[in-house]
Structure 1
Amino acid sequence: MKILLLNPNTSADITQLMLGVGQRAAAAGTELVPCTAARGVPYIATRTEAQIGGAVALELLAEHHRQVDAAIIAAFGDPGLFAARELFDIPVVGMAEAAMLTACMAGRRFAIVTFAQALGPWYEECVRAHGLWDRCAGIRMLDDPFRAVSEVGTEKEDLLVELAKQTIAERDADVLIFAGAPLSGLAERVAGRIPVPVIDQVVAAVKQAEALLALRLHKATAGTYRRPGAKPTTGLPDALAARLEHRDY
Structure 2
Amino acid sequence: MTRILLFNPNTSREVTDLLVEAASPALWSGSTLIPVTAPRGIPYIATRAEAAIASGIVLETLAEHEGDFDVAIIAAFGDPGLGGARELMSVPVIGLAEAAMLSACMLGQRFSIVSFSRALGPWFRECVAMHGLLDRLASIRLLDGAFASLATVQDEKEDLLVDLARSAIEHDGADVIILAGAPLAGLAGRVRDRIPVPVVESVVAAVKQAELLVALNTKKPSAGSFRRPDPKPSIGLSAALERSLLASHSPISPRL
Distance 2:175 2:104 in 1: 9
Cα offset, 1:144, TM superposition: 2.1
1:10-29 equivalent positions in 2, closer than 5 A: 10-29=11-30
- Secondary structure at the aligned position of 1:240 is classed as helix
Amino acid at match of 2:150: V
Residue 252 of structure 2: aligned partner: none
Residue 167 of structure 1: aligned partner: 168
Cα offset, 1:65, TM superposition: 2.0
Residue 137 of structure 2: aligned partner: 136
Residue 100 of structure 2: aligned partner: 99
Residue 222 of structure 1: aligned partner: 223
Distance 1:65 1:120 in 2: 32
Residue 211 of structure 1: aligned partner: 212
Distance 1:126 1:38 in 2: 24
Distance 1:86 1:138 in 2: 31
Residue 251 of structure 2: aligned partner: none
Residue 67 of structure 1: aligned partner: 68
- Secondary structure at the aligned position of 1:188 is classed as helix
Distance 1:112 1:244 in 2: 35
Identity %: 57
- Secondary structure at the aligned position of 1:93 is classed as strand
CA shift digits 1:143-181 (9 cap, x unpaired): 021000121111100110011101111001100000000
Tell me the TM-score normalised to structure 1 length. Answer: 0.98
Cα offset, 1:29, TM superposition: 1.3
Tell me the TM-score normalised to structure 2 length. Answer: 0.95
Residue 242 of structure 1: aligned partner: 243
Amino acid at match of 2:126: E
Residue 200 of structure 2: aligned partner: 199
Distance 1:232 1:59 in 2: 15
- Secondary structure at the aligned position of 1:52 is classed as helix
Amino acid at match of 1:135: R
Residue 91 of structure 2: aligned partner: 90
Residue 42 of structure 2: aligned partner: 41
Amino acid at match of 2:9: P
Cα offset, 1:118, TM superposition: 0.1
Amino acid at match of 1:223: G
Q: Is 2:110 the counterpart of 1:113? A: no
Number of positions where the alignment pairs a residue of Structure 1 with one of Structure 2: 247
Which blocks of at least 5 consecutive residues in structure 1 are unaligned?
none
CA shift digits 1:181-217 (9 cap, x unpaired): 0001110000000000000000000000001011001
Amino acid at match of 1:5: L
Q: Is 2:158 the counterpart of 1:177? A: no
After TM superposition, the runs of 4+ consecutive aligned structure 1 residues lying more than 3 A away are none
Superposed CA RMSD in Å reads: 0.7
